[in-house]
Amino acid sequence: MEPALLYESPFTDIAPQGPEQVFDDARTTRLFEVIAKINRSAVA
């Protein structure tokens, strides 16, 4: 999954400004780190 998709529908239907509207900075950063880790493992 591309992290940019978190700023599109259906996610923005709940949080129009993206994950930062739902999570604090630390959790948002961690969310993107986990997505990146999953993406890397899916390619390997």
Residue-range domain boundaries for the chain = 3-43
Amino acid at 4: A
Predicted TM-score (pTM) of the model is 0.82
Mean predicted confidence (pLDDT) in 21-36: 97
For the chain, give the percent of residues with pLDDT over 70. 98
pLDDT at 43: 78
For the chain, the average pLDDT equals: 94
Structure tokens at 5: 């998709």
Cα dihedral sign for 18, 12, 3, 41? positive
